[in-house]
Amino acid sequence: MTLNADTLHPMDMTTHESKSIDRDGNAINVHTGDGEIVGRVVGGRDGVAGQVGCWMNVPYARAPVGPLRFAPPQPLSQFAGKSIQVDARSPNPIVAPQRPSRLEDVLGSFAAVQQEDCLRLNIWSPLEALRDEQPRPVLVWLHGGAWITGGGGISWYEGTQWAKEAGIVVVGVNYRLGALGWLAGDDAEQNNLGLQDSQLALKWVAENIGAFGGNPDHVTIMGQSAGGDNIGALMQSRHPLLFQQAVIQSAPLGRPMRTLDEARAIRQMAMQQWGVSNLDQLQRLPLDTLLEGQASPAVMGKMKALGIAGQAYMVVADDLHVNAEGRTRYLQSASRVPSIVGATTDEMTAFPDMKRVDPDLAIGRRMFNAGAEQWQCEAEAAGQKCWRYEFRFGPNPRLGACHCIDLPFTFGTLPAFERAPMLAGGDAAEMEALSRYWRSGLQSFVIQGDPLWPKRDGGVHNVDAVR
């Protein structure tokens, strides 16, 4: 019996890592260490060349609900001697509970199913990878959204183009958001739960991606904004690194990190707002109540009064998962693996109350661009390879090259952003050409460790319209 991906079913069966395509070509069955996962074919029905297998909402951890709410993620190996069977053919992505993004007026919106049982992966692999013996490079994607919105499998981040064009296996990761993922805990093990989620997802990839045709020893991690910041935090982990390269897009590398004392103060503010005093009450708090109160005006006002800048939830320098020395030590992580790092030209115009004027743009340059430059300097000082870019294309005169403008071009998903104000006025052919150029460099880096960009003065590659 095969169940939907939102349900886990224990089965008495012996499993091993294997892969197969059923006879009618519509479904793809793979066996991982956790059990059988059934996906679907996208991109046509005739032949294998150019076709892609897609597995949506694949669980990589036990559902973080009930007693596991506000607890570190638990691996799926919960059924001793048994396995799970998952129907991962749904086209509807699952995401963590969230409220609408403050950037909807710039990006537009996306469709998804919200639920607390959200620790899921979304996988795209070329069908050829399931037929031959040559394992393919793997890209693991950590989405952005200020640690409170987004999802790894939404239409913005579909991996079909990467799998079809470059033969890369793409994995989009969900991690817990808002207070559910980033509220400071009663003890250190309960801090940075969203970061711990991502670490467990990487472990799942290392153990199981071979079943999807991927090479667990050739993994590049890529993330934008909050997702990019998470990558640097993972590079400070006490666990072995489970990726060999990194791409960090528009991460706030120039901003001070959240201290543990600040995070604990925010926890107290939020708990007062919710009217709870202990973990048991937090675990029984209705989800809507939790979401409404987690960053209410009252909480944000108290943060401001205490001089705590930024949003309520983010990576915490707790000295267990992330070094307590803060951003200076964080940036030294650039020495660990080859990387690409960069930002857009007009980052801040995407945010409320920010305009395309020098004082506002200067904030963005300090937070995003200067931080990327410092990351590159730390890498090169340690003898590590690092390429830096600045994404300069932006067709909307009001927004310019704002935060997130690079996303449609990164995944080749321009149609998913057709109503995004940030792309208003753009020429479709010109944008498609730029998308091909931009993602080809990223794909080259994933495959061979070099984006093959021309040398540029000042060590930065400017990405603009392709003429």
Q: What angle do CA 350, 390, 341 make, to 5 degrees?
A: 100
Structure tokens at 389: 């870019």
Catalytic residue status for 292: no
Catalytic residue status for 378: no
Pick left, alpha or beta for residue 94 (phi over 0 → left; psi -120 to 50 → alpha; otherwise beta). Answer: beta
DSSP 313: -
Q: How far apart are CA 339 and CA 378, in angstroms?
A: 11
Which of 31, 321, 403, 461 is catalytic? The answer is 403
Q: How far apart are CA 80 and CA 228, in angstroms?
A: 36
How far the first Cα of the chain sits from its last, in Å, is 54
Give residues with Cβ within 8 angstroms of 352, minimum separation 6. Answer: 102
Give residues with Cβ within 8 angstroms of 250, minimum separation 6. Answer: 144, 224, 225, 228, 342, 343, 344, 347, 368, 403, 404, 406
Which of 225, 237, 333, 339 is catalytic? The answer is 225
Burial letters 82-111, b for 16+ CB under 10 A, else e = ebbbbbbbbeebbbbbbeebebeebbbebe
Say if CB 187 and CB 104 are below 8 A apart.
no
Catalytic residue status for 225: yes
The DSSP annotation for 98-125 comes to: -PPPTTHHHH-----EE-S---EEEEEE
For every residue of 380-413, which 3-state class applies, written as one string?
Answer: HHCCCCEEEEEECCCCCCCCCCCCCCCHHHHHCC
Cα atoms found within 13 Å of the Cα of residue 356, Cβ hemisphere only: 14
Which of 36, 158, 262, 347 is catalytic? The answer is 347
The catalytic residue positions are 225, 347, 403
